[in-house]
Copies of this chain bind each other. A is one copy, B any other.
């Protein structure tokens, strides 16, 4: 049986590249987990074997991110899209309450669109005027404020489409801050005690599509009235993420990715160093191209996960994508709302892939 074949460097924005050692581990045990005699795909979510898998994933996540004990760690389904619903459903205590949303790109915009079903929306800032190329300065925010009754402030830590990232959290006083970390979870250390809640669909930095990590301060679990069961954080927390059958395989992969981060990378500070170095390689080519490559994001707010830039013409953008794919550098086309090129350099993108892209970019610019 041939178990490995040639692999490309896949710059997809998500689902995205996984560490090769994680893929090989999954492959090796796929038909029968050692000591179990069934595939991880076949074991009951009520079994001791699965308890061990879920506990291991949670423990590793808690250690890596330094998640305090007064926070629940939940493994849910439905992606960030369902979190856009669950957050206002759970954190607004009634239709007259307000949630503040800081909109720095397409995902923040989408998140803010669901608030109306449960309460009032205050857009504290929206970067649409400059096509979402930066995050706001502290003085630009129109926050409702705790005294007037804002239930929470939501922001998107990293906007994958625009390649714009918060490098520090804004000061929101006593109002709980709720953060979408879907595309940059575990890209670097964060201080979890500053958050009310954060969430991340796993398919960029934390595993595969199908599971969403939600980390929520326990005192926020009881804000809403009775909700439909699946929408209630309190119910999922009470049942240890087993209110219903969780995405067992996806949780297993998140555990393996956390193991890789702990044991092979050496933790989130080491990961951050790699991520800064990898993204700098591409930004340096962009900045040194004499204007051939034009970056989308303002320099201070550039993402270390998604590098977004364009070539002189849309025709050259398209040609670049085709020729890069032929060279084994795939999925580089930018999102239609921004155009150009998007190179996603998530945790698992190897340095060799980034070096190959940088070299390809220099070569392409020189020949143009």
Contacts and interface: CB of A to CB of B under 8 A. Distances in A.
Interface of A: 1-8, 10, 12-18, 20, 23-24, 26-28, 30-32, 34, 37-39, 41-45, 47, 77-82, 84-85, 89, 113-114, 117, 201, 203, 208-211, 226-231, 243-250, 253, 328, 330-331
A37 B245 contact: no
Nearest to A88: B228
Contacts of A247: 77, 209-210, 247, 250
A34 B15 contact: no
A80 B229 CA distance: 12
A144 to B, nearest CB: 22
Nearest to A22: B41
B15 A41 contact: yes
A17 B44 CA distance: 10
Contacts of A17: 38, 42
Given A3-B27, A209-B249, 13 more contacts: A4-B31, A5-B37, A10-B43, A12-B44, A16-B42, A17-B42, A18-B42, A23-B41, A27-B30, A84-B228, A209-B245, A210-B211, A249-B250
A151 to B, nearest CB: 17
Contacts of A44: 12-15, 331
